[in-house]
Structure 1
Amino acid sequence: MSEKTEIKQLGADVLRQWACAVDDFSSVEFHELIDTLLDVMRQSNGVGIAAPQIGVSLQVVVIASRPTARYPLAPEMAPVVMVNPRHEVLDATLIKDWEGCLSVPGIRALVPRHRTVKVAYQDKEGQDCQIVLHDFPARVFQHEFDHLQGLIYLDRVQDNRDIVAESEFFKRIAA
């Protein structure tokens, strides 16, 4: 299934919709969705992905911080599948840092995000879980959570001059 799964691009209606809560944790389609999200994220060198990005308007995200070609300085973190997530800000400090998105290729932007969040979610079996995320993993979660609310990272940019071509971004981090 994931070999042919396309990542929806900016302008696709599904990226601007509120995602629906998952209430059936036992369906084959739900578990295939999770497998597809993991596969597409890995194949795309992403550090996170949300179901709307592959055209499924359900509240499912995967957070998987790790160093990649797109995020060479990312810390290592095993993939976490989060279903029906919600979060609480634990550190209201807003930090601006660079983000990109598989649904908005070729562009990076400085985006303000909270430094620390506590996330409550269900795992793929429907069990209640919590995790506290700091810094880059917290940023990844907030980015993916936005997808569930019909937002993309460019909606959070404070100044249009903070948006750059990805080629320019890589020049800046190499300097």
Structure 2
Amino acid sequence: MTIRPLVRYPDRRLAMPARPVTAFDDALCELAADLLETMRAAPGIGITAPHIGVPLRIVVLELDDRDGPQTYVNPEIEWASPEMILHREGSVSMPGVNDEVQRHARVRISYQDLDGNMQTEDSGGLRAVCHQHEIDQLNGMFWIQRLSRLKRERLVKRFEKMSRG
């Protein structure tokens, strides 16, 4: 397992849709392990392969010790509840800033595991927010695009100021 360099905002690769995974092999398992180590080092609770410059549809989440890390390959949202919630979000690619984003309170996703088997998962609250956030990233939508223009511009200015030190 290797900690990989993170792609930082405003890198163009964060705005590019990721390609579906087609090879379920040792290289995929190694990439998932590297994503987990990189996410833990960041630190974060979710990461996608595009966050490390690999344009593939892979997400790793680690929300609590009980469930441990989970890997989602080629995830898609199948259903989203009409109820919405506000949740504070950020990104390993834009450390030090966050803001509230409106998301669906519950979602159902379909995905493949590391062996290529199809799975579905229903989630609510933080896990549902994370699924939506990371699938947006796989689709080339960086989380700040969900903010109003004014909030986004303020957040970007704050991030740029912090990055200059």
Q: Output the TM-score relative to the length of structure 1.
A: 0.81
User: For 1:4-153, what aligned pairs fall within 5 Å after superposition?
Assistant: 5-26=4-25, 28-66=26-64, 77-153=67-143
Using the alignment, how far apart are the partners of 2:97 and 2:80 within structure 1?
Answer: 29
Deviation per CA, 1:94-120, whole angstroms, max 9, x where unpaired? Answer: 212211111111211111110000010
Overall identity of the aligned pairs, in %: 31
- Name the CA distance, whole Å, in 2 between partners of 1:36 and 1:146: 21
Provide the rounded CA distance (Å) in 2 between the counterparts of 1:111 and 1:49. 17
Q: Give the drift of 1:10.
A: 0.7
C-alpha separation in 1, matches of 2:151 and 2:42: 27
* Counterpart contact for 1:98–1:109, Cα < 8 Å: yes
Pairwise CA RMSD of aligned residues? 2.0
Per-residue Cα deviation, 1:81-100 (whole angstroms, up to 9, x for no partner): 00011112341212122111
Q: Does residue 2 of structure 1 match 2:2? A: yes
1:155 correspondence with 2:153 = no
How far residue 161 of structure 1 moved from its aligned partner, in angstroms, is: 4.0
- Structure 2, gaps ≥5 residues long: 160-165
C-alpha distance in 1, partners of 2:99/2:90?
7
CA contact (8 A) 1:89 1:117 kept: yes
Deviation string 1:48-99 (CA, Å, 9 cap, x unpaired) is: 10000000000000122138xxxxxxxx542210001111234121212211
- Alignment partners' CA distance in 1, 2:74 and 2:151: 34
* SS of match in other structure, 2:81: strand
The TM-score, its normalising length taken from structure 2, stands at: 0.86
Work out the CA distance in 1 between the residues paired with 2:56 and 2:151.
33
Distance 1:92 1:80 in 2: 26
Q: Secondary structure at the match of 2:105?
A: strand
Alignment size in residue pairs: 156
User: 1:89 touches 1:114 (CA, 8 Å); kept in 2?
Assistant: no
